[in-house]
Amino acid sequence: DKKLEALKKEKARLQKENLKLRRQIRFLRMTLRRYQEALRKNQGVTLPQIIKRLRYTLESLLRELRRSGLKKILKKIERAIRARRRDKVSPVFPKARRYRHQAVPRKLTPQMKARIHLVKGYNAFNRKNYKEAIKEFSKVLQLTPKNATAYFYRGNSYLSLNQYGEAIQDYKKAIALNPSFSSAYYNIACAYARQNQKKKALEWLTKAIHHGFKDLEHMKKDPDLDSLRNEKEFKKLFQKQWK
């Protein structure tokens, strides 16, 4: 683009002029300071006329800098260059300039905020920071109350903290929103098994298998179900599924 190149050249030229003027001003200021220090110390230097001349030249240079308005001109050129860059649009997409502000939304929707807090909750849970995970999943539920996944993972966090009542409530809410949530049924069974409530644990375990829970290898090794391993019903249930 020829106009863009011309603007860049003009900007470079004005920057050089600006640097020259600034260097001259710095040099004059340094000399003024030296003469003033010499006069204060009474080293036999009496040069009031030279100081006046230096002051006059310094003031004249400052006036030139103000009159020329190099700073303002440079700012205008920078704005023009930025505008030219923004307006340069590929010929394949002639309407892209109209929609460039719509690429990133100005305000986050509740669903987007909920996703952010959900990811934060996952990360906190994986770091075993269960209290922080509960806070993040609670924020998700404030934004999206019908989020079964948030209820499930908040229940997992409560279960990890041995808060069985809160965990079971969250799992049941997840099931109410998604009746085929087999992992929620299974985790309720684990919560009851940890409390040594064997009948309820076996009842919810059968529900979990009925709703599609098929991870039998996990059931074999899961320490949460240790209180059920010697029960006949558990063995029968396990044998049926294993066959």
Question: What is the pLDDT tens value at each position of the chain, 243 positions in all?
Answer: 666 677 777 777 777 777 777 776 777 677 667 666 665 655 554 555 555 555 655 666 666 656 555 555 556 556 655 555 454 444 434 444 444 444 444 567 888 888 889 999 999 999 899 999 999 999 999 999 999 999 999 999 999 999 999 999 999 999 999 999 999 999 999 999 999 999 999 999 989 988 888 887 888 888 888 888 888 888 887 776 655
User: How many folded domains does the chain comprise?
Assistant: 3
Assigned domain for 98 exists: no
The Cα 19–Cα 23 span in angstroms is 6
The encoded tokens of residue 76 equal 């205008």
Distance of CA 151 to the CA centre of its chain: 24
Residues 86 and 151 in one domain: no
Residues 157 and 191 in one domain: no
Residues 14 and 76 in one domain: yes
Assess contact for 193 and 201: CB atoms under 8 A. yes
Closest alpha carbon to 189 in 173, 171, 176, 177:
171
Assigned domain for 115 exists: no
The Cα 203–Cα 224 span in angstroms is 15
Residues 175 and 197 in one domain: no
Expressed as residue numbers, the domain containing 71 is: 2-91
Residue 84's contacts (CB-CB under 8 Å, 6 or more residues apart) are 1, 3, 4, 7
Assigned domain for 72 exists: yes
Residues 27 and 81 in one domain: yes
Assigned domain for 165 exists: yes
